Chains A and B, each alone.
Chain A
């Protein structure tokens, strides 16, 4: 039995039991997230199999340079997040706060670039709806591609925004000295969430941006 810790909730016996529960809870939450995105990935598989050419044409209208930059930005943010978690484990407060802020910055860069990509789609009438116009051979099916593009990247961006809000709360708590080597579960769990959002993008990028690129 460990000594009573200030962060120990009344219904747990030990801080280890509490950490174990929180960690299991986060993993289960991530499973629900996989099922949530899974619905859209299923739709993607069905329609890409049905309309491979239209999907390839639609994909070529995405900006591969911006998408590629964003992919590296996000992978970089996963690194800074992992370093922040390490900082909290060893009780290095400056390292923790510094890398949390760096993660927030990289996440923001991602969203700003995403904003310019979206704006470009609006300018070129590639947003599904009444003003959609597409010069390729199968405009209807291409609209299906862009519907999925906006639904999937939009849902991903929403998860990024939520992640940034949580990270901001963590920075505030960290400056108040809330986290110690014994109690830093919130940092670890946010790390898990952040890596998950990152991994979703690792799937989205090739599926949406890189269709049939080798042929051109």
Chain B
């Protein structure tokens, strides 16, 4: 596919959302969904590198068998802060708050989200929550693990559990507001003619994600409130001394935190549907199935939390039911993977960087998903529970899946967001580096876990060293892979080729308006008259 260069008119002469006004105030008080998306982009990138910094320290410690670099307590704090930063402050907001904020109104032909001021408020809430958590780190850290299990977190831990708990509690409301905004916007603000089955799959995925955000997040919020009340004011809900049940905390925590996994992966699936379709120039095979499969994923995600508690004194019958329900999640997930593959069949495939990320996603998500079936099996889970097998599994989903999709999406829509093209050769190169680095980091951890290395220890027996060195080496490659896009994307803001309205020849309303878009997105509200992903027809016009 050839990339048509943009119109001869320089970008700066036309008024768009970036040059409509200048100054710090015009950004910090903006209600434009596109600017808020960029505020989120900057802040989650910061948290990504903070979380990544803790990961570097973890991999350094694990280079050698004895616990020589850090003491056990320090190591506990490192993996806790890595988990808290990456999950609550990077992965959960990543695709919805950046790409979703930018694209949901544009894809449905609206001028903004339904509640622009709530949208800005959600960013401020996110920042305040981030400051609390950051304060907890600076004041000495938290050592409970990102799961905050009682009674350790409520009674015995010496870390700053209260500050971190309040920080995560506050941040939860930014996620609730984002989800609420998306649902209302998708229901009430679609352009004329844009029926539900003409919606891009990105929108369907974000709708399902938003359902989980509004139904799950309040539960973890109240759970953290009860934890903070117990630790701070001796209101004993989970205290065994009063007859309270610490396992109740685990139930309430995972009732949110398992669906939260789908908050992280579902928007990624939406991105992948767009990428696969665009770069194979085909209608998404089984559009209705891919669209609807997001909803069973959202529903079943609320019924599987018990698979985190197979060894926490849960009744064996409950365990069996949770096991079966967990297996069921594989069906809608597989529907998506098979339909993407079928979309590729006889497609006119081109290997642009976003497509490389999409390929990476499909492969790594499949490995991550299949190893999830191992963990959903009652007997096998007892062998690999709390080992590196689990760590490898969820990193294949979260990093191999969600982060790959996020980067693919950032590259794909970068020309729309900034009006500039990124350097293609560098982008392909870094996608490859990330793929290699990722597999070298996390594949050995499957083997480590299967051989019995437990997670969350700072020392290990000598026989595990080779695999751990491989993992640490992979992590350094992965780190380089993440730094390269940082550099060339910033470079492209000034030196990148001018993109034009639709550099990929893609369908979708967001490509029918100039890049960068004007503040109100469209000069006049578009009217939709055809199905989505009409590539075979459009290609003639573009090329």
Known contacts A38-B219, A51-B243; A11 and B112 CB within 8 A of each other: yes
| Contact string against B for A residues 63-95, beta-carbon threshold 8 Å, 1 for contact and 0 otherwise | 000000000000000000000000000000000
Cβ–Cβ < 8 Å partners of A33 in chain B: 218
A129 touches B180 (CB 8 A): no
| Contact string against B for A residues 1-41, beta-carbon threshold 8 Å, 1 for contact and 0 otherwise | 00000000111110001001100110011011101111110
Q: Which of A98-148 contact B (CB under 8 A)?
A: 128-130, 138, 140-141, 143-144, 147-148
Query: Bound state CA distance, A188 and B358, in angstroms?
Result: 46
Cβ-based interface call for A150 (8 A): yes
B237 touches A143 (CB 8 A): no
Cβ-based interface call for B347 (8 A): no
**Segment at the interface with B among A42-50, A160-168, A170-178, A204-212:** A42-50
B236 touches A143 (CB 8 A): yes
Residue with the highest number of chain A CB atoms closer than 10 Å, among B243, B251, B252: B243
Cβ-based interface call for A199 (8 A): no
B235 touches A10 (CB 8 A): no
B242 touches A129 (CB 8 A): no
Known contacts A24-B187, A143-B236; A36 and B214 CB within 8 A of each other: no
Cβ-based interface call for A202 (8 A): no
B215 touches A144 (CB 8 A): no
Cβ–Cβ < 8 Å partners of A143 in chain B: 236, 242
Cβ–Cβ < 8 Å partners of B187 in chain A: 21, 24
Cβ-based interface call for B131 (8 A): no
A24 touches B188 (CB 8 A): yes
A129 touches B520 (CB 8 A): no
Query: Bound state CA distance, A37 and B180, in angstroms?
Result: 18
**Segment at the interface with A among B13-21, B221-229, B271-279:** B221-229
Known contacts A38-B219, A129-B234, A144-B236; A32 and B244 CB within 8 A of each other: no
Cβ-based interface call for B115 (8 A): yes
Q: Which of B213-257 contact A (CB under 8 A)?
A: 214-219, 221-223, 225-226, 229, 233-237, 241-245, 248, 251-252
B184, B235, B237: the one contacting A28 at CB < 8 Å is: B184
| Contact string against B for A residues 171-208, beta-carbon threshold 8 Å, 1 for contact and 0 otherwise | 00000000000000000000000000000000000000
Cβ–Cβ < 8 Å partners of B525 in chain A: 13
B243 touches A31 (CB 8 A): no
A28 touches B180 (CB 8 A): yes
A140 touches B520 (CB 8 A): no
B215 touches A140 (CB 8 A): no
**CB closest chain-B residue, reference A35:** B218
Cβ-based interface call for B353 (8 A): no
Cβ–Cβ < 8 Å partners of B183 in chain A: 24, 28
B243 touches A17 (CB 8 A): no
A11 touches B222 (CB 8 A): no
B237 touches A144 (CB 8 A): yes
Q: Within the complex, what minimum Cβ distance (angstroms) separates A47 from chain B? A: 7
Q: Which range contains the number of B residues in contact with the other chain?
A: 35 or more
Query: Bound state CA distance, A33 and B219, in angstroms?
Result: 9
Cβ–Cβ < 8 Å partners of A9 in chain B: 116
Cβ-based interface call for B110 (8 A): yes
Cβ–Cβ < 8 Å partners of A148 in chain B: 237
Known contacts A10-B111, A11-B112, A36-B221; A28 and B243 CB within 8 A of each other: no
Query: Bound state CA distance, A37 and B222, in angstroms?
Result: 7
B242 touches A141 (CB 8 A): yes
Cβ–Cβ < 8 Å partners of B399 in chain A: none
Query: Bound state CA distance, A21 and B183, in angstroms?
Result: 10
A21, A130, A140: the one contacting B234 at CB < 8 Å is: A130
Known contacts A140-B241, A141-B243; A17 and B188 CB within 8 A of each other: yes
Q: Within the complex, what minimum Cβ distance (angstroms) separates A198 from chain B? A: 19
**CB closest chain-A residue, reference B229:** A151
Query: Bound state CA distance, A13 and B189, in angstroms?
Result: 9
**CB closest chain-A residue, reference B519:** A10
B245 touches A39 (CB 8 A): no
B114, B181, B185, B226: the one contacting A43 at CB < 8 Å is: B226
**CB closest chain-A residue, reference B215:** A35
| Contact string against A for B residues 248-288, beta-carbon threshold 8 Å, 1 for contact and 0 otherwise | 10011000000000000000000000000000000000000
Query: Bound state CA distance, A20 and B184, in angstroms?
Result: 9
A147 touches B235 (CB 8 A): yes
Cβ–Cβ < 8 Å partners of A144 in chain B: 236-237, 242-244
A24 touches B222 (CB 8 A): no
Known contacts A39-B226, A141-B243; A32 and B218 CB within 8 A of each other: yes
B189 touches A21 (CB 8 A): yes
Residue with the highest number of chain A CB atoms closer than 10 Å, among B112, B237, B241: B237
Cβ–Cβ < 8 Å partners of B229 in chain A: 147, 151
Cβ-based interface call for B176 (8 A): yes
Q: Within the complex, what minimum Cβ distance (angstroms) separates B162 from chain A? A: 16
Cβ–Cβ < 8 Å partners of B116 in chain A: 9, 11
A31 touches B214 (CB 8 A): yes
| Contact string against A for B residues 378-406, beta-carbon threshold 8 Å, 1 for contact and 0 otherwise | 00000000000000000000000000000
Query: Bound state CA distance, A71 and B338, in angstroms?
Result: 57
Query: Bound state CA distance, A25 and B236, in angstroms?
Result: 35
Query: Bound state CA distance, A141 and B184, in angstroms?
Result: 44
A128 touches B234 (CB 8 A): yes
11 A-B pairs with CB atoms under 8 Å apart are A11-B113, A12-B189, A21-B114, A25-B184, A28-B184, A31-B214, A129-B233, A129-B234, A140-B241, A144-B242, A155-B225
Q: Top 6 nearest A-B pairs by Cβ distance?
A: A39-B222, A36-B218, A11-B112, A35-B218, A129-B234, A11-B111
Q: 7 more A-B contacts (CB under 8 A) besides A35-B216, A36-B221?
A: A21-B185, A39-B218, A43-B237, A140-B243, A147-B242, A151-B235, A155-B222
